[in-house]
């Protein structure tokens, strides 16, 4: 592959969507930064671990859309995510707004609140497996990896049971897990979330949005900020957990010796989850915008240009990880970038880890001889920033459920 000119990643689909790593390896070995085109937009792709990690904390790389060159602001992707009704959230903010928003959310999304989700997560996971166990096969995404986190998320946010079917539909369409009009789904979700926030202002409900809605002083958020936060959790919080379970299961099925090792020793599960995140993580790329001219990896990047930080490439960088293309659930180095780095490190990482640990513990204890159902095709979502399956058909032999009080509980490691 020649890199004398911009690499059109769009032209490489569907292969690049199904398996981006061979292309990313070639780019990474050829140089730290490349001119690429993705979804019709020219960008600078940063490929190496050291440069990506430094760029995630670079003071001249902005997360706010106002740093974009003017003509790009009208692009459909940028216009909806950075300038729409639901754009006032942490992922789109720089300091000091980011600091204020993150502090407010942290006051409610506490370690205690997240830890308290475990019993409900275990109950849901067991119930979901019960629903398909007798069949001996399922679509692991649609039947397990997706309903577990979206149900927990809806309950965390305080979405009334009567609204949850619509809420999940919007979530699935907006994130690409289901077909539909994403623009209409986003618009309907926006209207609903704004109404939900207005209700939470006076309801006294003891949920995440209710608590934030009643906050005062520096922790007080506007209606638009609260609705944007709920939408961020709807999109980023949902797909991160879905893709951790989906991608991680597929990685195990493609590395049967690692699956056998994990089945023999469940104490390896927390480390295995970190390796799933590194090996084929949910967030493949993050967008930043050059607020001023800057240099990355010896390459000059003009102000206003789009910079695509490849977490997927960085976490397969052999200068950081020996045998990076091999899944190794006993790998000692867990300083992956799957949840970002610096002030934008994912606030929901502990929740994703908890959901992943519960999901894998339940799945591996209940479904033996787990294997791909080759009669059905895999399906990948086409996305600018996330990497995940739309479908993962599997077959297995079911085992009876073990009472939860007889299962060992493993603490999920804190982020480094």
Residue 409 scores a pLDDT above 70: no
DSSP bridge pairs for 367: 398
In the chain, where are the structural domains located?
Answer: 7-406
pLDDT band at 65 (very low <50, low <70, confident <90, very high): confident
Residue 371 is inside which H or E element, if any?
strand 367-372
pLDDT at 399: 84
Q: Read off the pLDDT of residues 145-187 as tens digits, 9 standing for 90 and up.
A: 999 999 999 999 999 999 999 999 999 999 899 999 988 999 9
pLDDT at 411: 42
pLDDT at 40: 85
Residue 49 scores a pLDDT above 80: yes
Mean pLDDT value of segment 278-300:
96
Share of the chain above pLDDT 70, in %: 95
Mean model confidence pLDDT for the chain:
91
Torsion on CA atoms 128, 130, 134, 140, rounded to nearest 10: 20
pLDDT band at 66 (very low <50, low <70, confident <90, very high): confident
Angstrom distance (rounded) from CA 358 to CA 355 = 5
Residue 377 scores a pLDDT above 80: yes
Q: Read off the pLDDT of residues 197-234 as tens digits, 9 standing for 90 and up.
A: 999 999 989 999 999 999 888 889 999 999 999 999 88
Q: Read off the pLDDT of residues 224-270 as tens digits, 9 standing for 90 and up.
A: 999 999 999 888 889 999 999 999 999 999 999 999 999 999 999 99
pLDDT band at 3 (very low <50, low <70, confident <90, very high): low
Angstrom distance (rounded) from CA 125 to CA 308 = 35
pLDDT at 242: 96
Mean pLDDT value of segment 297-308:
95
pLDDT band at 279 (very low <50, low <70, confident <90, very high): very high
> In this structure, which CATH number among 1.10.630.10, 3.20.20.80, 3.40.190.10, 1.20.120.790 belongs to the domain 7-406?
1.10.630.10
- Please give the residue that has the higher pLDDT: either 13 or 392: 392
pLDDT at 407: 46
pLDDT at 219: 83
Q: Which residues contact 55 (CB under 8 A, 6 or more apart)?
A: 46, 61, 288, 296, 307, 309
pLDDT at 414: 42
pLDDT band at 410 (very low <50, low <70, confident <90, very high): very low
Q: Which residues contact 332 (CB under 8 A, 6 or more apart)?
A: none
Q: Which residues contact 85 (CB under 8 A, 6 or more apart)?
A: 190, 194, 224, 227, 228
3-class state of residue 157 by DSSP? helix
Q: Read off the pLDDT of residues 87-134 as tens digits, 9 standing for 90 and up.
A: 899 999 999 999 999 999 999 999 999 999 999 999 999 999 999 999
Residue 400 scores a pLDDT above 70: yes
- Contact call for residues 194 and 223 (beta carbons, < 8 A): yes
Q: Please, what is the angle between helix 256-264 and helix 349-366, to 10°?
A: 90
pLDDT band at 79 (very low <50, low <70, confident <90, very high): confident
DSSP bridge pairs for 7: 36
Find, among 392, 379, 289, the residue nearest to 81 by Cα: 289
- Helix boundaries (H) for 219-366: 223-232, 238-254, 256-264, 269-280, 311-314, 349-366
Q: Read off the pLDDT of residues 327-369 as tens digits, 9 standing for 90 and up.
A: 999 999 999 999 999 999 999 999 999 999 999 999 999 999 9
pLDDT at 402: 59
- Contact call for residues 60 and 292 (beta carbons, < 8 A): yes
Residue 404 scores a pLDDT above 50: no
């Amino acid at each position: 592959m020649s890199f004398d000119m911009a690499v059109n990643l769009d032209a490489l689909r569907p292969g690049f969507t199904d398996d981006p790593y061979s292309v990313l390896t070639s780019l990474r070995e050829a140089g730290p930064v490349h001119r690429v085109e993705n979804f019709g937009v020219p960008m600078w792709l940063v490929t190496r671990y050291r440069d990506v990690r430094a760029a995630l904390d670079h003071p001249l790389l902005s997360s706010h859309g106002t740093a974009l060159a003017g003509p790009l602001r009208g692009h459909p992707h940028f216009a909806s995510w950075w300038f729409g009704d639901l754009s006032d959230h942490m992922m789109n903010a720089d300091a000091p707004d980011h600091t204020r928003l993150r502090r407010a959310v942290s006051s409610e999304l506490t370690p205690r609140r997240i830890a308290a989700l475990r019993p409900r997560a275990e109950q849901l996971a067991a119930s979901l497996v019960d629903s398909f166990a007798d069949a001996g096969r399922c679509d692991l995404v649609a039947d397990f990896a997706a309903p577990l986190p979206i149900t927990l998320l809806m309950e965390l946010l305080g979405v009334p049971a009567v609204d949850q079917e619509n809420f999940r539909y919007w979530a699935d369409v907006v994130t690409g897990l289901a077909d539909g009009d994403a623009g209409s789904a986003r618009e309907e979700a926006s209207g609903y979330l704004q109404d939900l926030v207005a209700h939470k202002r006076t309801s006294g409900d003891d949920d995440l949005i209710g608590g934030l809605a009643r906050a005062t002083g520096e922790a007080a958020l506007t209606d638009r900020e609260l609705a944007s936060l709920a939408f961020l959790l709807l999109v980023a919080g949902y797909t991160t957990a879905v893709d951790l379970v989906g991608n991680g299961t597929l990685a195990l099925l493609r590395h049967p010796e690692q699956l056998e090792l994990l089945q023999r020793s469940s104490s390896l599960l927390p480390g295995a989850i970190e390796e799933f995140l590194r090996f084929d993580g949910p967030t493949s790329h993050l967008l930043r915008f050059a607020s001023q001219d800057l240099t990355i990896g010896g390459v000059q990047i003009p102000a206003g240009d789009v910079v695509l930080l490849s977490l997927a490439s960085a976490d397969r960088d052999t200068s950081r990880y020996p045998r990076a293309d091999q899944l190794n659930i006993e790998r000692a180095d867990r300083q992956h970038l799957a949840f970002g780095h610096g002030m934008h490190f994912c606030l929901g990482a502990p929740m994703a880890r908890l959901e992943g640990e519960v999901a894998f513990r339940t799945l591996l204890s209940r479904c033996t001889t787990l294997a791909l159902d080759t009669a059905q095709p895999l399906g990948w979502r086409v996305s600018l920033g996330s990497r995940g399956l739309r479908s993962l058909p599997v077959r297995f032999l079911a085992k009876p459920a073990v009472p939860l009080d007889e299962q060992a509980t493993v603490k999920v490691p804190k982020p480094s």
